[in-house]
Structure 1
Amino acid sequence: MNHLKMKSTDLTQVNIDKIAELFPNVITEARDEQGKIKRAIDFDLLRQELSGYLVEAEKERYQLMWPGKKEAILTANTPIDMTLRPVKGESLDWDSTQNLYIEGDNLEVLKLLQESYLNKIKLIYIDPPYNTGRDFVYKDDFREPTDEYMEESGQIDESGNRLFQNTESNGRFHSDWLTMMYARLKVARNLLREDGVILISIDDNEMHNLRKIADEVFGSTNLLATFVWKSRRKPINVGDSKFKPQRCSEYIYMYSKNADNVKFLPTYSGDERSYPHTDAKGKYRLTTILKSNRGGNERATMRFEINGYTPPEGQRWQGGESFIQSLFDDGYIEFKNGTPFRKYYEDEEEAEHDPLYTFLNEDKTGSSESGKTYLNNLLGNNHGFDTVKPKELLNIFLTVLTGKEEIVMDFFSGSATTADAVMQINADDGGNRKYIMVQYPVAIDEDSQTYKEGYKTICDIGKSRIRLAAQKIKEETGADTDYGYRVYRVDSSNMKDVYYTPDKLGQLNLEDVGTNIKEDRTGEDLLIQVMLEFGLELSLPMESRVVDGKTVHYVAGNSLIACFDDEVSEAVIKKIAEDQPLRVVFRDSSFRDDSARINVEELFKLLSPSTEIQVL
């Protein structure tokens, strides 16, 4: 039901609509005085349409421009004072798992992971908002540093949400969507390995724009393929629309960081072969070497004698005389009950493989319907997702693009299909692929059945799906693989503003800053931010030990040792130094005075001279 506008007609927009009917190519987007996106006319193009001569304007060049592009570049490059905080209570197998589930704005997460996962991700798959008018896009503004997460003006809407709905009522503008996507793709590229690949799902609404910005970010020569996926089995027939073309396909762009470095792995086709026979050369199998010689296959010249045998009427050899004779001479033909068979040896035969076609039929990939049915079976029918990617679709790409020890990322995780697919392929082939899922904790409508089922955010749905899928895969396969995940949540820095801008600290503030660390932060919080600073992966083993009454944190053995307690004794310092850490971190307050700090440096020079010492 449409709402009355309750105001006079905007004649400018009426005129623009009329021009759009005649010259759709001159329609563009611009910002009005309030900074809002609106439809506009490219008057230079309109003049050219109405002129019989070349209209002089700005120098032409091939590029995609939109209001907000420079803002997207600035946003992608602007540093942020944020961190990730561990949420052990919502994790599964924290101590042993290497999988990550991160809750927060994916652009912030991508920035935070820049050091720890630079050039380390083999495969990124994302299924971003399609800008259909019903989904959400992000408002990004990192130009002003913040003390508390999401409290600055412009970061949240009146409901406290970081997202806004790019609806039909505001024109479903391309510019907002492009600004959001451009910044994220730009930062995500840094995480890909040199042989890494990113897969981006999209429909035909923004397909053309996505191709242009991805060409800019990754380079047009690094577009490996455009896949057409038959996503729906049944058409949607509503009223007269049943007589119109029915959209049943989506698309997947496959871009690489460097096309020359990408190698595709084969996919096996058919049942496993058995080699029941054995001779001096090894195990082998037998297949017929004769062929029907009737109808279109009639070829008298293919009926010749080999070792006293000539195919009977109606049959012929499967090759010419010289070829069949060479097989016989080399021991690759065996006669059983007077009939010849060809021998295939196990150590000589390559498996048959399917090519990777750019048309993906739902018979092999599953469909949106089958993806939703699978999720219904796991979570019940009230999960709230209208469309769900099937994990069979992801499995195809995991098979051809990832080895058994790769890292896979999805920073529009949604219902966590990618995590499910990674667990499944690991269970099937004994692999140890790791996943990083990133999802903004979009709040569930409190009046919805989904909320009543106990899900407060989309992240709750994703984590529940991973846990239940893990149980299902383990029951069906019995595979001993990594079914857990560590949960991290984006938050403001552990450090107070004075840590970043000590010059702004006034005399009146001195009593308020007995420490430069926020009071509600734990040693584990500090440890994670330090790991991000040093570029250590968040899946590394972590251990906390009590040494002489102080808590000491160990990451990957002695890769990093940290103690954030106050007034750490010489005995504790000595024990840490004896472990010869590559890096060690303390707080300022860990030392009673300057002489204690100097003593620590001397101890490390004596016991572990190569250790890098840092202080918060």
Structure 2
Amino acid sequence: MDKLKMHSPNLVDSNIEKIAALFPNCITETKDENGELKKAVDFDLLKQELSQVLVDGEQERYRLDWVGKKEAILTANAPIAKTLRPCREESINFDKTENLFIEGDNLEALKLLQENYLGKVKMIYIDPPYNTGNDFIYEDDFAESTNKFFERSNQVDEDGNKLVAWKETEGRFHSAWLSNMYSRLLLAKNLLKDDGLIFISINDAEVNNLKSLCNEIFGQQNFIAQLIWQNKKGGGNDSIHIATEHEYILVFSKNKSLVEAFFESYSEEYAKRYKEEDSIGKFYWDTFKRKSGKQYYSIECPDGTVLEKDEDGNPISWLRSRDRFLQDKKDGEIRFVETLNGWSVQFKQRMPQGKKPRSIFKTETIIDDKGTTSSGSDNVYSLFKQDVFSNPKPVELLKFLLGFGASNHNDIVLDFFSGSGTMAEAILSQNLDGISRHYILVQIQEDIDLMLHSTSGNARRIAENAISTLKELNLPHFITELSKERIRRAGKKIIEDNATKEGIENLDIGFRVLKIDSSNMKDVYYTPDAYKQVDILDLADHIKADRSSEDLLFQVMLDWGLELSLPIERKTIAGKEVFYVAGNSLVACFDDLTFDVVDEVAKDLPLRFVSAEKAIHLDHDKTNIKERFKQLSPDTEVKFL
């Protein structure tokens, strides 16, 4: 022991431990006067354990409850005055890509996406921090009232909304972890399409609580499966009891009745045999004759030859019944091929939709290998030539889930614990099947220097590698910087490896970086009553000085509920910068606004036009501009920041 305790033993804690050994079901959690989680005794249950008659107490009901549940709901519903600021220089193909990389707290990101992606996300996959006592976790400030959100300029204080390392003593507690997940899953559900799915990776520590949590949020009737993934192979001899080499993936739907049947994707090797294709689909010609068949009848060939017995004089068995054969022949599903050994009857063996996914991932499934944590590290190593992420999920595992979780054109996939960025690489690789999926990744700026000082062994070595790589690239030491670089390298490699593939030039390997920040508006915009008249005059321009026109554009897209991946075109009209979002869906100009600009923009009949009051020199010009649009483009909605 490094330090003396300098106090007498806490006998209450000691007694609680003794009770826990005898009656573990009577131990719950509470908070002490400092707000710290601690063990407590459920005395009603303890009385019942020590009584032979029914003990009166709180009314029993089936529910999942924990310390902080109500605060988690309050946190999920509380508004924030934040925005997403575009970062063009860190993006790839910024103007046209349909992929998003959002940098910041995922709780805030989910709130900001509520209007823009309500009911639009087909699949969510998350690999949240596990409750081991050593993980980094988002710590939310439940104590702050809603009004405080609008009173602070940067929305951050040193006690809340930050990334902290859990104390090892908290590893045995569930309440903080559940509160953290509850608020985020409540918001995530809103983003799912009605037939959408959510996949959550988890280990033994919280799988039961997480399933109960999801039952409450998504409804027990929308539970799909609890998949078992073998994440390790071999080793484990240093385990005390059992060498754990699996994790779970919980699968829930928004509305199970609307979810189509699942089928695994085929490997390229398996699909090669289906070389021919007609209006129905892919197929190959297979022999209709079967030794193991039990259908016996004669078949007449085009020259009148009758096939009824084989060369040994035994009746020929066919794959299908006579009635099915006659129907297939009529439908063009049967052909006769004359060979050196006589006539061969063949049928179109069509590619089935797929094989049903199994709850236990075994190597006998259609996709041979779902990958392990080790192969996930190999995916990253192939791009950086050293280990820079701890325990990344393998690309093949996520491709497997994408195969039936997001199998349609323009499906949007969200990962709001994106970590190493595996989901982005998985989608780029899976999109080689010709289906265009898009991703939204969310990741907080985890400080790798902080990790370096709080880890040891292999984790410390990986942190050192990560810092070394980022130093070479002259980038800040954040996980997000590594993730973005991983996506850049993965996209480049996929293009190079598939250079001869038809249509490879259309593969969207870009991503648009958006960073969560305080509002573009000065504080006076939200709390004018708190300022004196002289202050208001000084702050006549309510837009912060460091904000660009593109910052304002994305604020408008957020406020109007437009998808943040819509294509953006920048034009110069009458010497002013004008933004066109998705054609004429939204046109914006934040430079000094002239009637020459208005006249030219109005010709395109935009659905919406937005500018800033600072772009207008005279008050009456604002009214005149609106009237001008009424004349030239009467259906245009005009607004000013």
Is TM (by shorter chain) over 0.5? Answer: yes
User: Could you say which residue in structure 2 is the equivalent of 1:58?
Assistant: 58
User: Could you say which residue in structure 1 is the equivalent of 2:303?
Assistant: none
User: Could you say which residue in structure 2 is the equivalent of 1:345?
Assistant: 348
Change (3 A) 1:416 1:318: farther
Task: Give the Cα separation in 1 of the matches to 2:329 and 2:140.
Answer: 73
Change (3 A) 1:108 1:277: closer
User: Could you say which residue in structure 2 is the equivalent of 1:366?
Assistant: 371
User: Could you say which residue in structure 1 is the equivalent of 2:461?
Assistant: none
SS at match of 1:290: coil
Deviations 1:143-199 (A, max 9, x none): 32154435425226xxxxx11222322344211110110000000111111111110
User: Could you say which residue in structure 2 is the equivalent of 1:76?
Assistant: 76
User: Could you say which residue in structure 1 is the equivalent of 2:309?
Assistant: 310
Change (3 A) 1:283 1:527: closer
Structural mapping, 1:16-55, within 5 Å: 16-55=16-55
1:471 Cα offset (Å):
1.7
Report the identity percentage.
Answer: 44
User: Could you say which residue in structure 2 is the equivalent of 1:571?
Assistant: 596
Task: Give the Cα separation in 1 of the matches to 2:246 and 2:596.
Answer: 67
Counterpart residue type for residue 35 of structure 1: G
1:336 Cα offset (Å):
3.5
Q: Does 1:509 align with 2:543?
A: no
Task: Give the Cα separation in 2 of the matches to 1:468 and 1:303.
Answer: 61
Counterpart residue type for residue 611 of structure 1: T
1:68 Cα offset (Å):
0.7
Task: Give the Cα separation in 2 of the matches to 1:536 and 1:286.
Answer: 51
Change (3 A) 1:4 1:214: farther
The structure 2 residue matched to 1:462, chosen from 479, 483, 493, is 483
1:579 Cα offset (Å):
2.3
User: Could you say which residue in structure 2 is the equivalent of 1:431?
Assistant: 435
Change (3 A) 1:532 1:3: farther
Task: Give the Cα separation in 1 of the matches to 2:51 and 2:2.
Answer: 41
Deviations 1:256-301 (A, max 9, x none): 11111111353347242356899xxx99624261317xxxx9x9x9
Change (3 A) 1:555 1:173: same
SS at match of 1:107: helix
Task: Give the Cα separation in 1 of the matches to 2:105 and 2:563.
Answer: 19
Change (3 A) 1:508 1:276: closer
1:511 Cα offset (Å):
4.3
The structure 2 residue matched to 1:419, chosen from 415, 418, 424, is 424
| Paired residues of 2:116 and 2:561 also in contact (CA < 8 A) | yes
The structure 1 residue matched to 2:410, chosen from 405, 413, 435, is 405
User: Could you say which residue in structure 1 is the equivalent of 2:246?
Assistant: 249
Task: Give the Cα separation in 1 of the matches to 2:317 and 2:20.
Answer: 65
Task: Give the Cα separation in 2 of the matches to 1:487 and 1:321.
Answer: 57
Deviations 1:74-122 (A, max 9, x none): 0000110000001111111112211111100001001111111111110
Deviations 1:2-59 (A, max 9, x none): 8664433221111111111111111110011111111111111111111111111121
Mean alpha-carbon deviation: is it higher for 493-502 or for 265-274? 265-274
Counterpart residue type for residue 255 of structure 2: N
Counterpart residue type for residue 608 of structure 1: S
Counterpart residue type for residue 558 of structure 1: N
| Paired residues of 2:218 and 2:253 also in contact (CA < 8 A) | yes
Change (3 A) 1:376 1:6: farther
Deviations 1:436-468 (A, max 9, x none): 110001011176342122161010111111111
Task: Give the Cα separation in 2 of the matches to 1:283 and 1:101.
Answer: 40
User: Could you say which residue in structure 1 is the equivalent of 2:220?
Assistant: 220
Deviations 1:582-609 (A, max 9, x none): 1111222233333212211211111111
1:311 Cα offset (Å):
2.5
Task: Give the Cα separation in 2 of the matches to 1:422 and 1:336.
Answer: 46
Task: Give the Cα separation in 1 of the matches to 2:522 and 2:277.
Answer: 74
Mean alpha-carbon deviation: is it higher for 358-367 or for 492-501? 358-367
Structural mapping, 1:51-450, within 5 Å: 51-141=51-141, 143=145, 144-145=148-149, 147-149=152-154, 151-155=156-160, 162-238=162-238, 241=239, 244-264=241-261, 266=263, 267-268=265-266, 270-274=270-274, 285-287=285-287, 289-291=289-291, 307=306, 309-313=308-312, 317-319=316-318, 323=322, 326=325, 336-338=339-341, 341-345=344-348, 349-351=350-352, 353-361=354-362, 363-383=368-388, 385-402=389-406, 403-427=408-432, 429-445=433-449, 448-450=464-466
User: Could you say which residue in structure 1 is the equivalent of 2:459?
Assistant: none
1:507 Cα offset (Å):
3.0
1:351 Cα offset (Å):
2.9
| Paired residues of 1:229 and 1:249 also in contact (CA < 8 A) | yes
Q: TM-score, normalised to structure 2's length?
A: 0.87
Task: Give the Cα separation in 1 of the matches to 2:266 and 2:314.
Answer: 31
Q: TM-score, normalised to structure 1's length?
A: 0.90
Change (3 A) 1:316 1:333: farther
1:487 Cα offset (Å):
0.6
Counterpart residue type for residue 469 of structure 1: A
Counterpart residue type for residue 79 of structure 1: P
Task: Give the Cα separation in 2 of the matches to 1:104 and 1:318.
Answer: 66
| Paired residues of 1:304 and 1:311 also in contact (CA < 8 A) | no
User: Could you say which residue in structure 2 is the equivalent of 1:451?
Assistant: 467
Mean alpha-carbon deviation: is it higher for 171-180 or for 541-550? 541-550
| Paired residues of 2:153 and 2:523 also in contact (CA < 8 A) | no
Change (3 A) 1:63 1:603: same
| Paired residues of 1:147 and 1:493 also in contact (CA < 8 A) | no
Task: Give the Cα separation in 2 of the matches to 1:291 and 1:199.
Answer: 44
Task: Give the Cα separation in 1 of the matches to 2:317 and 2:413.
Answer: 46
Task: Give the Cα separation in 1 of the matches to 2:313 and 2:54.
Answer: 75
SS at match of 1:419: helix
User: Could you say which residue in structure 2 is the equivalent of 1:473?
Assistant: 494
Change (3 A) 1:28 1:318: farther
Q: Considering only aligned residues, what root-mean-square deviation do their CA atoms show, in Å?
A: 2.8
SS at match of 2:448: coil
1:227 Cα offset (Å):
0.5
Task: Give the Cα separation in 2 of the matches to 1:364 and 1:47.
Answer: 52
| Paired residues of 1:302 and 1:320 also in contact (CA < 8 A) | no
Change (3 A) 1:131 1:587: same
| Paired residues of 1:303 and 1:315 also in contact (CA < 8 A) | no
Report how many aligned residue pairs link the two structures: 594
User: Could you say which residue in structure 2 is the equivalent of 1:159?
Assistant: none
Change (3 A) 1:326 1:466: closer
